[in-house]
Amino acid sequence: MRLETVRFPATHIALVSGISAEYPWATMTGLSVSKDPNSPINKFIDLYGEGIQHTAYNIDPQADMEELHHQMEELGWKFMTPVLSYSDESGALLKQMFVAPSTPYGSFIEFVQRLHGVDGKAFNSFDINNIDNLYERYADYSNWLAKKI
């Protein structure tokens, strides 16, 4: 899967494999590149070199993401986002939450959940606006964190 984002111009490529053709999201490796030298992607590379910007963990469809977010905050986890939710035309949902980096433009963690729609198929893509929103929050949080240091 290859996606092009707009507000933070970049190409995002996801290689996925899964437990079935209907659920190819069990494991995923992604690559994001940007020609914009001021993009959050390139700020990460400028500060830390090429490497893993974030790691994503698949959350069981039976889990309550809002409750998980709340429990993790109670334990001291800091998040860049609340639980973000997007649906497709069948009602399938993509839910994501992003843990804040500990250093400006540092590595972060994503928790992602793909839920079935009325057709029985899980959300089978990404939301381009979500990716742009994530990078906006990543930049805002990183800039806020840099001022605290």
**104-135 pLDDT, tens digit each:** 999 999 999 999 999 988 887 778 888 888 89
Overall number of domains in the chain: 1
SS3 content of the chain, % helix, strand, coil (to 5): 25, 30, 40
Identify whether the C-beta of residue 58 lies closer than 8 Å to the C-beta of residue 23. no
CATH number at residue 29: 3.30.720.110
Task: For 76-102, write each residue's pLDDT tens digit.
Answer: 999 999 999 989 899 999 999 999 999
Output the pTM of the full model.
0.87
pLDDT at position 24 is 64
- Of 25, 31, 57, 48, nearest to 103 (Cα)? 48
Q: Which domain holds residue 43?
A: 2-148
